Amino acid sequence: MEETKKLFMKIDKRQTQSLSPSAFNSVVTQRRGLLNNINQKTMKTILLEKSPVQQQNTSFKYSIINLNKTRLAKIFTSHPVLFKRAQEMILFIRPIPMAIFLVLFNLLLYFYRSFQFPFYSLVAISYFLYYSCKIISPRIWPILEETLFEPEIKVDPNESNHLRSPDDAADFIYAYYNPIRLCLKAFTKLSSDTSITGLQVMLCVYAFLFFLTFAFDLFWPFAIAANVALIGPGIYFCPIVRVAVTNFKKRWNL
């Protein structure tokens, strides 16, 4: 601010006329230096200013990192129908919709593996499927709701596969998500370190990830982990399985 005032301050002609040529040149040089400083600061502000897309990506990144039990519970509470239907499918209360979803999910993995999409084709088909779902879902969802999720199924609250409250579901999910969140938080903190040591650490991390993904095919570990995450809760909370596990523990005193 002070530099701007000095730059636009009027030059007294009487003072400049009384100055020697060398003194006058020093005044002009000083004004040019102030102008250069202002231009550099302006350019720096423009370069550091984030676009709306960058701001959206940053907010999304930090919302994932700072996700806690309370925020998870609020998300579930704000989408009650979807939260209920997802629980009914994952806990095998409605096995037919869950079976259809698993078939479609694994078909998607199969097509991805079989066609070996190049990077640009993968991005294009991903956006195509995304916008197709946004167009089709409002029309097809009422039909699916009426066909697959009617009538309402009542589950005994004492059964192991009963529907959980948003708080209980948030506690269960957060127990498995928290280690991943901590890793993402540490990675983000390291990536924001612009010192030489921080840059060297990130260089080593990305080099390790490159050699890992280059030497090993991570498709099958991902596919297996995704299927276990989808099927595991239904098996774990199934009343028959829980009774069998309890009897097994009693028999062998485990």
Task: From 95, 126, 134, select the one nearest 230 (Cα to Cα).
Answer: 95
- 11, 89: one domain: no
- 11, 107: one domain: no
Bond from prior residue into 221 cis (ω within 30 degrees of 0): no
Residue 233: inside a domain: no
* Residue 150 confidence (pLDDT): 78
- 113, 183: one domain: yes
The tokens of 6 are what? 């000095």
Residue 11: inside a domain: yes
Alpha helices for 149-218 (secondary structure H): 166-191, 196-215
* Residue 167 confidence (pLDDT): 94
- 44, 168: one domain: no
As a whole number of angstroms, the distance between CA 182 and CA 65 comes to 8
The tokens of 102 are what? 């698993």
Residue 245: inside a domain: no
Specify whether the CB–CB gap between 171 and 69 falls below 8 A: yes
* Residue 40 confidence (pLDDT): 57
- 42, 166: one domain: no
- 93, 190: one domain: yes
Residue 224: inside a domain: no
As a whole number of angstroms, the distance between CA 248 and CA 254 comes to 8
* Residue 186 confidence (pLDDT): 86
- 29, 82: one domain: no
Residue 246: inside a domain: no
* Residue 56 confidence (pLDDT): 47
pLDDT in tens, the chain (254 residues): 544 444 445 455 455 555 556 655 665 566 666 656 655 555 445 444 444 444 444 555 557 788 889 999 999 999 999 999 999 999 999 999 999 999 999 999 999 999 888 889 889 999 999 999 899 888 888 888 888 887 888 888 888 889 999 999 999 999 999 999 998 888 888 888 888 888 888 899 999 999 999 999 899 999 999 999 999 999 999 888 888 888 888 888 87
Q: In what helix (H) or strand (E) does residue 98 lie, and over which residues does it extend? A: helix 95-115
H, E, C per residue of 77-95: HHCHHHHHHHHHHHCCCCH
Maximum alpha-carbon separation in the chain: 108
- 79, 205: one domain: yes
- 78, 177: one domain: yes
Residue 230: inside a domain: no
As a whole number of angstroms, the distance between CA 252 and CA 171 comes to 31
- 44, 125: one domain: no
- 72, 44: one domain: no
Indicate the number of domains in the chain. Answer: 2
Task: From 248, 236, 247, 240, select the one nearest 164 (Cα to Cα).
Answer: 236
As a whole number of angstroms, the distance between CA 234 and CA 92 comes to 5
The pTM score is: 0.69
- 97, 194: one domain: yes
The tokens of 174 are what? 């957060």
The tokens of 136 are what? 């089709």
Angle between helix axes 95-115 and 219-236 (nearest 10 degrees) is 170
Residue 186: inside a domain: yes
Domain encompassing residue 42: 2-48
The tokens of 133 are what? 């779902």
Residue 243: inside a domain: no
